Amino acid sequence: MERNHHLHRQLANLRQSFFDQGYLDEQFIQLEELQDDANPNFVEEVVTLFYKDSARLIHSIDQALEKHPLDFAKLDSYMHQFKGSSSSIGAKKVKIECTQFGEYCRAGNVEGCKRTFQQLKREYAVLRKKLEAYFQFVRQIGPIETASRPN
Amino acid sequence: MMENSKTTAGFSSPRSDNFPAGLRVLVVDDDPTWLKILEKMLKKCSYEVTVCGLAREALNLLRERKDGFDIVISDVNMPDMDGFKLLEHVGLEMDLPVIMMSVDGETSRVMKGVQHGACDYLLKPIRMKELRNIWQHVLRKRMHEARDIGNHEMDQFDEVWMLNGTELLSGKKRKDFDNEKEISDSRCVDSSSMKKARVVWTVDLHQKFVKAVNQIGFDKAGPKKILDLMGVPWLTRENVASHLQKYRLYLTRLQKENEVKASFCGMKHPNVSSKENSPQNPVDVCADVINDKCSGVSGDKAIVQNGKANIYESKVKGVVSMPVAEPRSVVGDNFGSKTSLSDSFALINTDVKSLNVPTPYCFTGEAPQPQYKQDFKPRFPSCTQPTCSLNFVPSHEVRDRVSSKENKPSFFKSRSGVGKLSALEAIQPVSHQINFHALEQIPSTTWSMTSQNVDQNLVNGLQSSPGNLTLGSGSVVASLGEDASIQGECFPAYYGLRNIQQFDYSDPQTISGVPTCLYDTLRFDYEYPNDSLEGIVLDQGLFIV
């Protein structure tokens, strides 16, 4: 019991760190609030879906960035989609990179685009790792409902 | 289940007990993550959700299941079809409210969405609280539809406003209307982006329509023919078709109503001092109004009749009035002056255009109470001595502008004059009540606004000093002259009404001086089912041939 309590606290702290460090925004809380008996793992399902779906976009953008000259309109369009997706799980840092990328696109800044995209992919991957660890943790010690959810 | 409002006269669906629960929402987004989230959110709102990852698929779905959805939420950026394109199709083919969503809040894009007919533009990440509210678009749309249909179960404001605006405006209001008209014109003209722009059937336009129908022959008239005859370039066949449908409904209903023998009496007093009180027959005035000949009808003019109470029989086309009683004498006996009464009526009468409402209000000093309680059919015959029979027919023409400026002086004057008359005591409340009636029955905002004038003073006078009602018109008068009559805009007057009513009921003192039947009349009115009245009244106003 004591140990369980301790773990829950750890989980809560971990979760809180995502917000404190700017990885996630309130959208993630929205997802948590949607979780109910009908979908007890709703947040994880959504995050998983996001990573699965966005992989193709990342791939598309990667390919588009190889082209000469760059098709900025196309890149911008891709990034727009990616930004929309990122907003669905509240991937705050990723979203920031998306916005930056879009600006470089409109400015026709090739270097800026490429650099930002690398940064974007890093943030994307970091968040993925963090969230994966988090969900694993959740599965270990029980449903998130039992974890204290700071409001 | 829910039927599309296009096919139902009264959009019963959104009014069903559990509306907005069960609202049928189609979500279109190429982003599966958002689809999943939105689906969940909408379900939590108790909506019935269908999700679709492709715009074309969504379009097919919508075409297959016509009337299968109440509202569409669509992403702007989709690979297979631009969201705006989808929006256009949906607006054109299904006439459903569409909410656009995008992670991009750039003004130009939002603008584009709205120009293409989106009823709302949500920014991602979309919150549940935003989705909880989307039913309002469905309701609004149906209200507008009802407006077009002339159903009048709901807000009629816009249409009424337009009707007013066409020819009846004067002064400042005219300007407002012009603006409005410009807006609507541009909407209609810009057919590329606003194909589904709602046509405002102004009196003028409707007359063209009717003319065309008559020319072709009612039975043979089809949308295409009518459209050709009307010669209004921006009008579409669909516009005409829909209006034709409504027009037919309206005629059918009118026929039924005639069978009910709708008649009412109106009472007017001659004593109003204002010179504007031309001895015009109410019918004439009404006709004028209808025919757009009478621009800037001043309240007094329209109102003041030759001190006769008239009964109007409704006819499908046109209104026939016949004098039924001479309230003058009756009133005269009881009260030194009728001015106040007539004046307060004046306001209302001005607004009155359609003479179709089967709602006679009679009060007699000696009349037995339950007189009008049981039914609303014309009862005058039984009213042996109608002091005055009042009828208020809510009409479309009712203008807020009837308002004030014109009325004010005479209103004020006569009012104060009245104040001196002791007999007034009885009358005063009466007229208030009457006004109130009119209000109650008026479904449209315009009406409220009309009554607002009266109402306002009612509220003011009554609320602040109940005594006024019975004891003197002094303060009532004041409020009438000053603020009461100057309401330009329309507000839901019901609020005020309720208060008044309560007041009337709760304070027997107030009513003590009033003939009992008054009280009953009031009550009757309150109980009177709004629906039938509204329909009739407004219909009449809507489609005057």
Picking from A39, A51, A52, A87 by the largest number of B CB atoms within 10 A of its own CB, the best residue to mutate is A87
Per-residue confidence (pLDDT) for residue A145, from 0 to 100: 52
What does DSSP say about strands B309-314 and B319-325: parallel, antiparallel, or unpaired? antiparallel
Domain map of chain A by residue range?
Answer: 1-141
Set of chain A residues whose Cβ sits within 8 Å of the Cβ of B30: 81
Per-residue confidence (pLDDT) for residue A47, from 0 to 100: 97
Domain B24-149 belongs in CATH node 3.40.50.300:
no
Domain map of chain B by residue range?
Answer: 24-149, 203-259
Give mean pLDDT, residues B156-162.
41
- B74 pLDDT above the threshold of 50: yes
Split at pLDDT 50, 70, 90, the class of A32 is very high
Asked if B463 contacts B482 with a C-beta cutoff of 8 angstroms, the reply is no
Per-residue confidence (pLDDT) for residue A136, from 0 to 100: 93
Average pLDDT across chain A, whole number: 91
Segment B495-520, tens digit of pLDDT: 434 443 334 343 444 344 444 334 44
Picking from B33, B43, B46, B77 by the largest number of A CB atoms within 10 A of its own CB, the best residue to mutate is B33
Give mean pLDDT, residues B309-329.
39
In order, the DSSP letters of B431-452 are: HHHHHHHHHHH--SHHHHHHHH
Closest residue to B103, CB basis, from A42, A49, A84: A84
ipTM above 0.85, yes or no: yes
Percent of chain B with pLDDT over 70: 33
Please answer yes or no on whether B31 and A49 come within 8 Å at the CB atom. Answer: no
Higher model confidence: residue A16 or residue B340?
A: A16
Helix axes B474-482, B404-419, angle to 10 degrees: 170
Average pLDDT across chain B, whole number: 56
Lowest mean pLDDT among B212-216, B218-222, B467-471: B467-471
Give mean pLDDT, residues B261-267.
42
CA-CA distance, B142 to B26, in Å (whole number)?
A: 18
Higher model confidence: residue B84 or residue B465?
A: B84
Segment B432-442, tens digit of pLDDT: 333 444 344 44
Min Cα–Cα distance to chain B from A12, Å: 23
- B121 pLDDT above the threshold of 50: yes
Per-residue confidence (pLDDT) for residue A133, from 0 to 100: 95
Beta bridge partners of B28: B52, B74
Percent of chain A with pLDDT over 70: 93
Segment A78-102, tens digit of pLDDT: 999 999 999 999 999 999 999 999 9
Give the predicted TM-score (pTM) of the model.
0.46
Of B30-44, B193-207, B272-286, where does the model show the most confidence?
Answer: B30-44
Q: How far is CA B67 from CA B15, B123, B138, B160, in A?
A: 16, 27, 13, 28
Closest residue to A80, CB basis, from B37, B104, B128: B104
Per-residue confidence (pLDDT) for residue B260, from 0 to 100: 60
3 state SS of B498: helix
Give mean pLDDT, residues B113-134.
92
CB atoms within 10 A of CB A45: 17
Set of chain A residues whose Cβ sits within 8 Å of the Cβ of B131: none
Give mean pLDDT, residues A11-28.
96
Of A92-96, B14-18, B280-284, B454-458, where does the model show the most confidence?
Answer: A92-96
Set of chain A residues whose Cβ sits within 8 Å of the Cβ of B33: 46, 49-50, 53, 85, 88-89
Split at pLDDT 50, 70, 90, the class of B212 is confident
Per-residue confidence (pLDDT) for residue B145, from 0 to 100: 79
Per-residue confidence (pLDDT) for residue B258, from 0 to 100: 65
Which fold, B203-259?
Arc Repressor Mutant, subunit A (1.10.10)
What does DSSP say about strands B388-391 and B360-363: parallel, antiparallel, or unpaired? antiparallel
Higher model confidence: residue A58 or residue B263?
A: A58
B442, B305, B283, B292: which is closest to B353 by C-alpha? B283
Beta bridge partners of B122: B101
- B448 pLDDT above the threshold of 90: no
Per-residue confidence (pLDDT) for residue B440, from 0 to 100: 41
Segment A117-138, tens digit of pLDDT: 999 999 999 999 999 999 999 9
Asked if B360 contacts B380 with a C-beta cutoff of 8 angstroms, the reply is yes
Tally the C-alpha atoms within 13 A of residue A127's C-alpha that lie toward its C-beta.
26
3 state SS of A91: strand
User: What architecture does CATH give domain A1-141?
Assistant: Up-down Bundle (1.20)
Helices then strands, counting H and E runs in chain A, come out as 6, 0
Give mean pLDDT, residues B337-356.
37
Picking from B103, B104, B124 by the largest number of A CB atoms within 10 A of its own CB, the best residue to mutate is B103
